[in-house]
Amino acid sequence: MLLCFFLSLALACQTVSTVCAEDLLSAQEFTKQGQFRKAADTYRAILKKIPDSPEAHAGLVRSLLKLDEVDAADMASQAALAAIPQSSVIHAARGDVYFRRGLIDSAESEYKTSLAMNADCARALLGLGRVYAAESRRSKARELFSRAHALSPDDGDALYYWAINLQYPQNAEALAQHLAQFRDDPDKERREREYMEFIKALAGRDIWILSHPVAQTEIRLETLLAPAQHSGITDRPPLPLSSGSSMTPSGLGLRVSLNGVNKTLLLDTGASGITIPKSLADKIGARRLSEQSLEGVGNSGAATGYNAWVDKVSTGELEFHDCIVHVSPRNDSGQANGIIGSDIFDRYLVTIDFPGRKLALGPLPETEEKSGEEIAAHGAFSRVFSFGHLLLVPTHVNPDASGLFIIDTGAYSDFISPVLARKTGGLGNSSSVVQGRSGKVKDVYEAGNVVLQFSHYEQPSENIRSIDLHPQSKTLGAEVSGFLGFPALRHMKLKINYRDGLVDFESKP
């Protein structure tokens, strides 16, 4: 009888194990199909049968993050760690939650803990690669993405990050494979498809080529003004400075020649490359390359635009050949003629002298990728996290709240998210109008007077506005808690080392 009992028990356990293995495969297939809700439900069903399944716990956390249910993913990862604290994949999943929360240092710690348990944990390698990419340690990031993909070729996230770091045409081929095999959020798929079509249209050609070397240079900037009652982030109507004007400063303008046509563009650390309206693109003979949706703050969704080829762009002593510009269907910068991102000058140490109204470009220090600890001891410079062209700096708001703020010289107001604002004293309604590239912002609040502390600098901000920054957080995959705009930066020299992910803020009287 005892023998029969143990045999039946063993068969029952084997049956449960087989069923759960099949359920895991089903959940993974739902994930591939972009059916993240079904994947999450399947993982929960597995955990009811086998509460100590690391794969089901980690899969549930990843599914909830795909659904952008960050609070639920946070709770699920904490429960998983409490249940199985020695699981490598669960520590990696906890790292994913920290990364999405914008707690990059905590994420790095979890990924390293995971790898100490299992040096071949693909999800930890992938996560640590994302951390290193944000820290501008790009060669290390590429190495980790490659290892993660080799260890887990069926992981769509690992395939994607490996693909975008390949050279042409391998990157286009790998992205096509990813799009064919894995479904995701429609906006993510659109961005990926647009990027793939862009690199195919570019066909490996070098762009933004300097016609002659310039070791260092200075370029004069113009002060731009905006009506006092209007507030925006990327799409504002700046006007040239004139005597007797009652308008408020909104940003700095740079004189640029595009195919021989001179225009003033808003200098914007929150933008990438050059964006001009279609009317100007037609005037200068810009040649369409590929479709490119234009996204930003606002509630109207992405605007339809395109990437275009411009033969020559020059400013000051610099002359670039074979350039790419983004073309907007409308004038996104009001009476300015477009926007120029400071990342165009990323081969230099970029200094934006706001009071002196000049842009200085100088040599970078010798190339050397540094760890976070080494960066912390890097003199006056502070670390920022890089997400493409965006630079996010850790910022404290009053003594008890903090988050990652985008450095955005093109925003002529500072902003914080409602989530962070509630930690600093609450919200009140505002009559301000905030207009972004994605249209008008529906809900604008006032968060009162706060003190912003970033790097080694402290800046009071009066009646700071609060708007929903969830779309930006979702797009980046890390929490954005605010914008340091023109008001916070206008009395400073801002120095940017794009290559190494370092900035310096020098206050001027």
Q: How far is CA 184 from the centre of its chain?
A: 18
- What gap in Å lies between CA 312 and CA 62, rounded to an integer? 45
Q: Which of 344, 208, 321 has its CA nearest to residue 269?
A: 344
The one-character DSSP state at 381 is: -
Polymer length in residues for the chain: 509
Which pTM was predicted?
Answer: 0.91
Report residue 276 as tokens: 């001009």
Q: Which of 338, 285, 279, 337 has its CA nearest to residue 311?
A: 285
- What gap in Å lies between CA 357 and CA 344, rounded to an integer? 18
Per-residue pLDDT of 175-213, as tens digits, reads 999 999 999 999 999 999 999 999 999 999 999 999 999
Q: 302-311 b/e with 16+ CB inside 10 Å = b? A: bbebbbbbbe
Q: What is the pLDDT tens value at each position of the chain, 509 positions in all?
A: 444 433 343 433 444 455 578 999 999 999 999 999 999 999 999 999 999 999 999 999 999 999 999 999 999 999 999 999 999 999 999 999 999 999 999 999 999 999 999 999 999 999 999 999 999 999 999 999 999 999 999 999 999 999 999 999 999 999 999 999 999 999 999 999 999 999 999 999 999 999 999 999 999 999 997 643 333 344 333 333 333 334 566 789 999 999 999 999 999 999 999 999 999 999 999 999 999 998 867 565 678 899 999 999 999 999 999 999 999 988 767 668 999 999 999 999 999 999 999 999 999 988 766 655 565 555 679 999 999 999 999 999 988 899 999 999 988 789 999 999 988 877 776 657 666 665 567 778 888 788 999 998 888 887 788 999 999 999 999 999 999 999 899 999 999 999 999 999 988 66
Per-residue pLDDT of 1-20, as tens digits, reads 444 433 343 433 444 455 57
The upper half-sphere exposure of residue 213, i.e. CA atoms within 13 Å in the direction of its Cβ, equals 2
Report residue 260 as tokens: 């021989």
Q: Which of 225, 320, 234 has its CA nearest to residue 270?
A: 234
- What gap in Å lies between CA 280 and CA 498, rounded to an integer? 29
